Structure 1
Amino acid sequence: MTSPPAQREYVFDPSWEQETERLRTNEAIWDPGTFERFAALGVGPGWRCLEIGAGSGSVARRLADRVGPSGHVLATDLQTGRLASLASLPQVETVRHDLREEELPEAAFDLVHSRMVLQHLPDRAAVVDRMVRSLRPGGVLFLEDTDSSTLFRSFLSEDFLQDVRAAGYGLMRESGHDPRGGHVDLQLVLAAGLDATAEGRAVMVRGGSDQARHYMLWLEFMRPRIVAAGLLDDARIDAALAEMADPSHHWLSQVLISTVGRRRGAERGR
């Protein structure tokens, strides 16, 4: 299957000079909540885990800590260069893998996790089915995708950065991004036959922080397309970046919806 060129431009652009920083600042926003959910799920020694879209490797590293030397973590991504630091962990294997086209090992994992990947992909039902088949009986599928409707909500004003959100996310939607991706995840997991629940979490972002830097990088990346489309000019984008950098400003992130589904069968350890 072939993705539209615009989708590849937004989602899979390893050549952008600031992509590593963008990934790491994204981790600064979402890792704490993801790690809390690993603990709540009971991920522990001996588990076999699959991390899809491993990015810079922070989630795979935390999984490696939890499963210990008797466990195994398979970390996959379209670009594995940023995962080189995981080579020192014997329980971690890194593999280049295209989830859109390539199969996964069958009935191999106690946990399959993916964060902010599925919402960018076409034919998501087929992708979820592939993930489900890779679970052992009783295994857990843990998907995290966003609802962007809350982004930049702030006490400062009702319309704080809303023109920026509308411009950037409108273009992303044209490229294949689903602004309600987390909602779709739950329906797909239920349709795949798993027992599933979902919850949402958001982060209050302070201007000038590492978390705020993520949104600044997002806007810088989207700037050429926003300006070319005539949605905003450079002066407005510069002003928005200054607002994001101001420590006196606080705003809400997207809602990250965590969907957890369990494949029917004996739960691990029982």
Structure 2
Amino acid sequence: MTVEANEYVFDPAWERETERLKTNEAIWDPGTVERLERLGVGEGWSVLEVGAGSGSIAHWLGERVGPSGRVVAADLSTERLGWLEAPHVEVARVDIRSGELPTGTFDLVHSRMVIQHLEDREGAVAALVRALKPGGWLFLEDTDSLTLFRSAVSEDFLQDVRVAGYDLMRRSGHEPRGGHFDVAAALAAGLEDVSAEGRAVLVQGGSVQARHYMLWLEFMRPRIVAEGRVSGERIDEALLEMADPAHRWLSQVLISTFGRKGTGR
């Protein structure tokens, strides 16, 4: 694990990715925090936050564990994490696929929307389990995309762009049922007290949360159009529908999986 300094370089693409991460936090952070509180995260805990993004959950964890605790905010890209300035919050460039995590170190390892993008999901989960202290908790969050854009507007509201986008994402390695596989991987890793639950958010058009899905579609647009899946005109129409406050739709289901490492391990 290598701790690195960060420097900011202006780049429009970088700015859009930052906005995507922050709008994703706006959708999911409240439920994640609620579940972290339920786990009992508190003073003195040592926590690894995998896929820290722009750092909102790592920041919350840092305040929760206090100066006597430790939080490692880990990501492949650490440039957005430089604002995490507490002495007990470290920023680390980490690839969990490389086996460079420390062993038996953390009371909690949390990861949101990371595992479902990896080819070897079971191997990644096993690496996270090895990083736990005996008795420590693994908390994984990944999605099932089937509910996305379900709406009273119509039975097929935005389903054409959902199917087109997610088909291409699957071909790039994204698993749209990733949350289900987290449960199987936690069990395969020998964790105890494994449980899982799902949550979805009702998104209003034109909101910060809706902006997240607009950014997703804008990013996917060139590939969708190039493959003839959906026309550029239809994507323009879909973006207008997403921006309309009269429209509401369901997010994906985010499946939270919990498991505890046995004290004898």
Query: Could you state the TM-score of these two structures normalised by the residue count of structure 1?
Result: 0.92
Letter in 2 for 1:132: V
- For residue 231 of structure 1, what is the aligned residue in structure 2? 229
Q: CA deviation at 1:99?
A: 1.3
Q: CA deviation at 1:98?
A: 1.0
Runs (4+) of structure 1 exceeding 6 A deviation are: none
Match of 1:136 among 120, 133, 136: 133
Aligned residue runs from structure 1 range 1-270, under 5 A:
15-86=13-84, 88-195=85-192, 196-265=194-263
Letter in 1 for 2:68: S
How many residues get paired? 252
Tell me how large the CA RMSD over aligned residues is. Answer: 1.1
Deviations 1:106-133 (A, max 9, x none): 0000000000000000111111111001
Q: CA deviation at 1:233?
A: 1.0
Q: CA deviation at 1:15?
A: 4.7
Q: CA deviation at 1:265?
A: 1.5
Distance in 1 between residues matched to 2:226 and 2:57, nearest whole Å? 36
Letter in 2 for 1:30: W
Instruction: Give 3-state SS (helix, strand or coil) of 1:85's partner.
Output: coil
Distance in 2 between residues matched to 1:19 and 1:44, nearest whole Å? 31
Q: Which runs of 5+ in 2 are unaligned?
A: 1-11
Letter in 2 for 1:98: D
Letter in 1 for 2:82: A
Distance in 2 between residues matched to 1:240 and 1:68, nearest whole Å? 45
Distance in 2 between residues matched to 1:111 and 1:26, nearest whole Å? 22
Equivalent pair of 2:23/2:211 in contact (CA under 8 Å)? yes
Q: Which runs of 5+ in 1 are unaligned?
A: 1-13
Instruction: Give 3-state SS (helix, strand or coil) of 2:141's partner.
Output: strand
Instruction: Give 3-state SS (helix, strand or coil) of 1:236's partner.
Output: helix
- For residue 3 of structure 1, what is the aligned residue in structure 2? none
Distance in 1 between residues matched to 2:13 and 2:80, nearest whole Å? 12
Q: CA deviation at 1:17?
A: 4.1
Distance in 2 between residues matched to 1:93 and 1:84, nearest whole Å? 10
Letter in 2 for 1:114: S
Deviations 1:28-58 (A, max 9, x none): 0000000000100000000000000000000
Distance in 2 between residues matched to 1:31 and 1:85, nearest whole Å? 18
Instruction: Give 3-state SS (helix, strand or coil) of 1:18's partner.
Output: helix
Equivalent pair of 2:145/2:177 in contact (CA under 8 Å)? yes
Distance in 2 between residues matched to 1:214 and 1:237, nearest whole Å? 15
Percent identity among equivalent residues? 69
Letter in 2 for 1:155: A
Distance in 2 between residues matched to 1:74 and 1:218, nearest whole Å? 28
Distance in 2 between residues matched to 1:178 and 1:57, nearest whole Å? 24
Deviations 1:60-93 (A, max 9, x none): 001001101100000111110100100x211100
Deviations 1:147-186 (A, max 9, x none): 0000000001100000010000000000000010000000
